[in-house]
């Protein structure tokens, strides 16, 4: 039984993301304040450096990027003060009309998963984002709490399916008892949860690396696809087009390093976002 929604009549996350892609280009831009990038920008590897780095990214991306993805780990490493910087960034991006994706990769069971779901998708939470990344490798059904939260608020969930890191292949491309690839089974279960929203795209998306040569079948997903691995990892716009040929308007390339390398100059960062967005279409 589908959870009762407090957002009846509102567009799904999939609809909102597709609209943002048409207006701004189908690009997800990362905010990744890792230590060597802070240094490259002339900033300290401390909370002050984190605050400055994040403020520059928000200023540069808020008006031009369709989706902005802060990597939670790089804020979490500074403890509560780091989370305070992330909370402010999410709020500022939201106020500017930019969609946000908290790259938290949470995955657990029962009440613990419900706690994560509330933290990242409940509008009452100071950490609330438009969408969150989650791991299904305790079982897709273990994520029911986050799916319910997404349905209640028309928020987004990106489920790791076939990721771009080579270590993942042993698990994600093994076969289950029914003969399906594990990553295909993940996609199929996500598709079932989006079926209620058809023909509009639903709230549940998947992560499929643009470097994956033989990705799972996505035709039935009816939801957004996030594609890491573009640029520094070797994938191109042609790879993104190949994987999302079934519904190109729902495919969003995740680009971080090639854009962030243009910082800390705000205009250079903006120009990089616009150029990359043009490359991936609108």
Question: Which of 4, 39, 69, 105 does the annotation list as catalytic?
Answer: 105
Residue 125 CB neighbours (<10 A): 14
Q: Is 179 left (phi over 0), alpha (psi -120 to 50) or beta?
A: left
Which DSSP state fits 125? Answer: S
Contacts of 192-198 spanning 24+ positions with Cβ under 8 A: 193/147, 194/14, 194/221, 194/222, 194/223, 195/222, 196/2, 197/12, 197/14, 197/222, 198/222
> Residue 59 is encoded by which pair of tokens?
């200023």
What is the distance between the alpha carbons of residues 240 and 28, in angstroms, rounded to a whole number? 13
Are 130 and 12 contacting, i.e. CB atoms less than 8 angstroms apart?
no
Report angle CA 224, 86, 35 to the nearest 5 degrees.
100
Residues 223 and 98: their CA atoms lie apart, in Å, by 19
Q: What are phi and psi of 208, to 5 degrees?
A: -130, 120
Residue 31 tokens, joined: 């905010």
Catalytic, 39? Answer: no
Q: Which residues are catalytic?
A: 105
């Amino acid at each position: 039984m589908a959870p009762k929604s407090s957002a009846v009549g509102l567009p799904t996350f999939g609809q909102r993301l597709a609209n943002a892609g048409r207006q701004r280009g189908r690009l997800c831009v990362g905010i990744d304040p890792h230590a060597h990038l802070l240094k490259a920008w002339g900033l300290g590897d401390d909370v002050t450096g984190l605050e400055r780095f994040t403020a520059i990214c928000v200023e540069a991306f808020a008006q031009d990027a369709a989706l902005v993805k802060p990597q939670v780990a790089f804020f979490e490493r500074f403890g509560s003060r780091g989370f305070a910087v992330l909370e402010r960034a999410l709020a500022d991006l939201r106020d500017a009309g930019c969609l946000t994706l908290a790259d938290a990769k949470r995955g657990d069971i029962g009440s613990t998963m419900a706690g994560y779901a509330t933290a990242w998708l409940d509008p009452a939470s100071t950490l609330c984002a438009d969408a969150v990344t989650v791991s299904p490798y305790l079982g897709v059904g273990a994520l029911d709490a986050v799916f319910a939260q997404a349905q209640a608020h028309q928020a987004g969930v990106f489920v790791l399916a076939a990721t771009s890191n080579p270590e993942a292949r042993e698990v994600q491309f093994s076969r289950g008892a029914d003969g399906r690839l594990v990553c295909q089974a993940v996609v199929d279960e996500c598709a079932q949860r989006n079926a209620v929203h058809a023909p509009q795209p639903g709230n549940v998306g998947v992560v499929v690396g643009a470097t994956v040569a033989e990705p799972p079948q996505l035709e039935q997903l009816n939801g957004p696809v996030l594609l890491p691995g573009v640029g520094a990892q070797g994938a191109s716009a042609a790879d993104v087009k190949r994987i999302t040929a079934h519904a190109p308007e729902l495919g969003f390339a995740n680009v971080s390093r090639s854009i962030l390398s243009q910082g800390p100059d705000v205009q250079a960062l903006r120009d990089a976002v616009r150029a990359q967005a043009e490359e991936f279409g609108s």
